[in-house]
Amino acid sequence: MHFIDIPSSFQNQIGGDTADLGFQLKYKWDDEYYSKFDLLNDPEGRFKAQASLGADVTIDNWRILPEVSAIFKGDRTTAITTDWD
């Protein structure tokens, strides 16, 4: 679930809050490196995918958490829909 912090007056203009439905795959390559893939769809039919590569590295007293992500946000024309007819 993703949360955003905006003024309530602006939140009402954009339609309040919604919950995305989807799944996440996470694979740890070793003790430091991992990859993630998220696939989400919201009630309005918008599709979102995110792929990430990251690390959790400890050097002496330092913990470094670099991560790079690529995000695709579709509109309603790229929505995942089901036609039951």
pTM: 0.62
Nearest to 69 by CA among 85, 48, 84, 54: 54
Please report which residue ranges of the chain form alpha helices under DSSP H.
8-13
d(CA 43, CA 17): 11
Task: Give the CA angle between residues 79, 70, 38 to the nearest 5°.
Answer: 55
**pLDDT recorded at residue 70:** 95
Give all domains of the chain, ordered by start, each with its CATH number: 19-74 (3.10.450)
Q: Alpha-carbon distance 18 to 30, whole Å? A: 35
10-residue mean pLDDT profile of the chain (85 residues): values are 63 66 93 95 85 96 96 70 53
